[in-house]
Amino acid sequence: MYAARRARLGRLRWLVACGLATLTGLAVASVARASCRISNETGYSFTVSSGNTSNQSVGAHTTTSIAPGTIVGKSKEGKTFGGSCKDGDNLVVKEDKGVPILMPK
| Span 57-99, pLDDT tens digits | 999 999 999 999 999 999 999 999 999 999 999 999 999 999 9
User: Does one domain contain both 20 and 51?
Assistant: no
CATH number at residue 54: 2.60.40.2890
User: Does one domain contain both 9 and 57?
Assistant: no
| Structural domain span for residue 21 | 1-32
User: Does one domain contain both 57 and 97?
Assistant: yes
User: Does one domain contain both 67 and 49?
Assistant: yes
The DSSP string of 22-54 is HHHHHHHHHHHS--EEEEE-SS--EEEEETTEE
User: Does one domain contain both 83 and 45?
Assistant: yes
> Which pLDDT score, from 0 to 100, does residue 30 have?
45
Q: Given pLDDT bands bounded at 50, 70 and 90, which one contains residue 52?
A: confident
The pTM of this model reads 0.65
Per-residue pLDDT tens digits for 4-45: 666 666 776 766 666 666 766 655 544 445 699 999 999 999
User: Does one domain contain both 83 and 68?
Assistant: yes
> Which pLDDT score, from 0 to 100, does residue 1 have?
61
Task: Report the number of distinct structural domains present in the chain.
Answer: 2
User: Does one domain contain both 62 and 97?
Assistant: yes
User: Does one domain contain both 24 and 42?
Assistant: no
